């Protein structure tokens, strides 16, 4: 029995088989082959299998995160069939009389290097794609199974770390829990775990070589521990605790359909934060009153080019129609910092959190902004859509935004395309916007407080830095005072104010938030009913 401790991200408990995700850069051996034609046939077969694997990945991604992010798998399929690539492999096999694995590995390296040496950042990034498909071919040739989630039984994912785009690739219904060696409580892996209602541990000092896929594991989000090969007794104990949790969850379900109202009659809206079209199901399942933050970045990440207006429009419209009249607040592009996309060519910054990101990119590169705005205004004609602008620090920015929205409106008018001007609000996530929230409240329809970044900038703490977790106090008086100030300024001008940062789901603060006068809390879908319970039980 192996036990490790770490930080818990979601309090749940689960028992199941481990699935270890390793970055495999294993060695391929060069062997002589007497029958080159047979080796070439093996490559054909492996490529055929790879096409099927990629197709499955593509199909799954389209449903979960939309066509835009799924496109990367299509690109892999096309690269696999490239004449030059395949001819190079075949000709190496024939002239050097070697095995398929080695020919594929070397060819992959050669092509990959060619791209890595190009000037263009976008092309440089393609080197990784070629490596990826070559690895896939070699794995198929060696008979190594691809991590095929569709036939995988629900498992506990064990990994070194999980990047935002890796998590996009996973099948959410097959994941019982996450355990990673690295990561911080505010990283994307953590945010995802909370969204999916699944136990997750991060910062767990495991040696991945000691753990095998299939081993039984218990992830205990309450004790912040993971145990491999537990004793029978521990298994029984865990099963009974799992049953308790299940009963508690069912009780919470009785809260579905009930109003978010305190014993004395104060009301507050409880909405959901989501990051992809596929998450709308969780929103409705958990009885949210609306979507308080729809992160639009999924349309821009995990792909090689910009999403078109049409792609964006379809995604926004789908969400707005599925939500059938409930409010959907879509945040415009918020890329930069930890959510880079190669094709944007943002380059390297010393301080990405303080850098060229979000609304700054949109205002300096209005073509990107206008495409998104066009899609949003068009989708607004189909349901209850609102727009929210991130990273605002000045009234000038808001003025500029409105002038661009005017341009977009004129263009749509001239072209006779149906649209609607929606409610427009801003994220309050910089100390600057807090301090001028009185002036901003005159200009916009609502505020949504991004407590994650606001706390980061106010406390001067990098939320990705594990060493600082002890200094990070999300209940810091500075933050609470800022929230009160923002709410008061909004109300003075007849506007509403809510929270979309993670603090909104902090059950210790629910009462405080209602007393402060917040109009809305937008939280991970898994927290909606828990927040509701707190609201209904307070005076």
Partner 1 sequence: MKTFSYEIKDAIGIHARPAGLLAKEAKKYESKIVIKKEGKSAEATKLMAIMGMGVKCGNVVDVEIEGADEEKAYEDIKAFFEANL
Contacting residues toward partner 1, per CB under 8 A: 71, 74-75, 78-79, 81-85, 111, 114-115, 118-120, 122-123, 126, 129-130, 304-306, 343, 367
CB of 128 or CB of 263, closer to partner 1: 128
Cα distances from 407 to residues 217, 296, 307, 317, 446, in angstroms, run: 57, 22, 21, 21, 22
CB atoms within 10 A of CB 391: 22
Sequence-separated (6 or more) residues with CB below 8 Å from residue 449: 427, 428, 429, 483, 486, 497, 498, 499, 500, 501
CB of 211: closest distance to partner 1 in angstroms? 35
Single out the residue of 239, 289, 282 nearest to residue 261, CA to CA: 289
CB of 1: closest distance to partner 1 in angstroms? 47
Which token pair is 469?
A: 């977790």
End-to-end CA distance of the chain: 48
Which token pair is 270?
A: 């409880």
Q: Rg for the chain (alpha carbons), in Å? A: 25
CB of 333 or CB of 528, closer to partner 1: 333
76, 491, 493, 500: the active-site residue: 500
Whether 188 is a known active-site residue: answer yes
CB of 412: closest distance to partner 1 in angstroms? 21
CB of 344: closest distance to partner 1 in angstroms? 9
CB of 72: closest distance to partner 1 in angstroms? 9
CB of 116 or CB of 208, closer to partner 1: 116
- Provide the edge-to-edge strand list for the sheet that holds 2-5: 2-5, 225-228, 216-220, 13-21, 155-159, 175-180, 200-202, 7-10
CB of 329 or CB of 368, closer to partner 1: 368
Q: How far apart are CA 53 and CA 169, in angstroms?
A: 13
CB of 207 or CB of 345, closer to partner 1: 345
Q: How far apart are CA 22 and CA 25, in angstroms?
A: 9
Residue 146 phi, psi dihedral angles, 5° rounding: -70, 150
CB of 364: closest distance to partner 1 in angstroms? 14
Single out the residue of 486, 513, 368 nearest to residue 427, CA to CA: 486
Give the single-character DSSP code of 286: T
CB of 301: closest distance to partner 1 in angstroms? 15
The DSSP-derived string for 426-472 is EEE-SHHHHHTHHHHHHHSSEEEE-HHHHHHHHHT--TT-GGGTTT-
Element (H, E) at 249: helix 232-253
CB atoms within 10 A of CB 112: 19
188, 362, 476, 493: the active-site residue: 188
CB of 119 or CB of 250, closer to partner 1: 119
Element (H, E) at 89: helix 83-96
CB of 85: closest distance to partner 1 in angstroms? 6
CB atoms within 10 A of CB 480: 16
CB of 304 or CB of 511, closer to partner 1: 304
CB of 81 or CB of 407, closer to partner 1: 81
Whether 362 is a known active-site residue: answer no
The total number of residues written for the chain in this structure: 539
CB of 107 or CB of 167, closer to partner 1: 107
CB of 335: closest distance to partner 1 in angstroms? 15
Q: Give the three-class secondary structure for 33.
A: coil
CB of 81: closest distance to partner 1 in angstroms? 8
CA dihedral (182, 185, 187, 189) positive or negative: positive
| Max CA pair span of the chain | 85
Per DSSP bridges, beta strands 13-21 and 7-10 are: unpaired
CB atoms within 10 A of CB 281: 12
Q: How far apart are CA 183 and CA 465, in angstroms?
A: 8
CB of 114 or CB of 421, closer to partner 1: 114
Catalytic residues: 188, 500
């Amino acid at each position: 029995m192996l036990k490790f401790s770490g930080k818990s991200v979601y309090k749940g408990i689960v028992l199941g088989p481990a699935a270890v995700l390793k970055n495999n850069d294993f060695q391929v051996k060069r062997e002589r082959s007497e029958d080159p034609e047979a080796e070439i046939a093996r490559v054909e077969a492996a490529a055929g299998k790879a096409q099927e694997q990629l197709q499955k990945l593509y199909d799954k991604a389209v449903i979960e995160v939309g066509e835009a992010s799924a496109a990367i798998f299509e690109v892999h399929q096309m690269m696999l069939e490239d004449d030059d690539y395949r001819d190079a492999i075949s000709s190496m096999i024939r002239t050097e009389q070697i095995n398929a694995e080695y020919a594929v590995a070397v060819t992959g390296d050669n092509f990959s290097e060619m791209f890595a040496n190009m000037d263009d950042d976008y092309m440089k990034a393609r080197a990784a794609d070629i490596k990826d498909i070559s690895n896939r071919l070699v794995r198929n040739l060696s008979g190594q199974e691809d991590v095929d989630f569709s036939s995988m039984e629900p498992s506990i994912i064990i990994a070194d770390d999980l990047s935002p785009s890796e998590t996009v690739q996973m099948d959410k219904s097959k994941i019982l829990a996450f355990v990673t060696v690295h990561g911080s409580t505010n990283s994307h892996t953590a945010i995802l775990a909370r969204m999916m209602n699944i136990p997750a541990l991060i910062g767990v000092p495991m040696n991945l070589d000691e753990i095998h896929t299939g081993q039984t594991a218990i992830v205990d989000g309450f004790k912040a521990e993971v145990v491999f090969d537990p004793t029978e007794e521990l298994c029984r104990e865990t099963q009974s605790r799992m049953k308790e949790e299940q009963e508690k969850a069912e009780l919470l379900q009785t809260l579905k359909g009930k109003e978010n109202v305190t014993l004395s009659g104060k009301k507050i809206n409880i909405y959901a934060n989501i990051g992809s079209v596929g998450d709308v199901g969780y929103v409705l399942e958990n009885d949210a009153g609306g979507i308080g933050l729809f992160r639009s970045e999924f349309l821009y990440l995990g792909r090689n080019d910009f999403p078109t207006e049409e792609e964006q429009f379809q995604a926004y419209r789908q969400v707005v129609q599925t939500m059938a009249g409930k409010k959907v607040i879509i945040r415009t592009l918020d890329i930069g910092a930890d959510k880079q996309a190669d094709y944007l060519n943002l380059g390297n910054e010393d301080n990405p959190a303080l850098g060229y990101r979000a609304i700054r990119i949109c205002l300096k590169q209005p073509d990107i902004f206008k495409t998104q705005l066009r899609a949003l205004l068009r989708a607004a004609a189909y349901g209850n859509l609102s727009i929210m602008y991130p990273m605002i620090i000045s009234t000038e920015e808001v003025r500029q935004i409105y002038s661009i929205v005017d341009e977009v409106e004129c263009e749509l008018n001239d072209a006779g395309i149906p649209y609607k001007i929606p409610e427009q609000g801003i994220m309050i996530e910089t100390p600057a916007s807090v301090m001028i929230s009185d002036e901003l409240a005159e200009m916009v329809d609502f505020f949504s407080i991004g407590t994650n970044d606001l706390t980061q900038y106010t406390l001067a703490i990098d939320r990705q830095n594990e060493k600082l977790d002890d200094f990070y106090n999300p209940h810091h008086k500075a933050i609470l005072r800022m929230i009160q100030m923002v709410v008061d300024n909004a109300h003075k001008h007849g506007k509403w104010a809510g929270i979309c940062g993670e603090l909104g789901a902090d059950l210790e603060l629910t009462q405080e938030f209602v007393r402060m006068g917040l109009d809305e809390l937008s939280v991970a879908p898994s927290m909606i009913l828990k927040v509701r319970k707190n609201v209904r039980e307070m005076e």
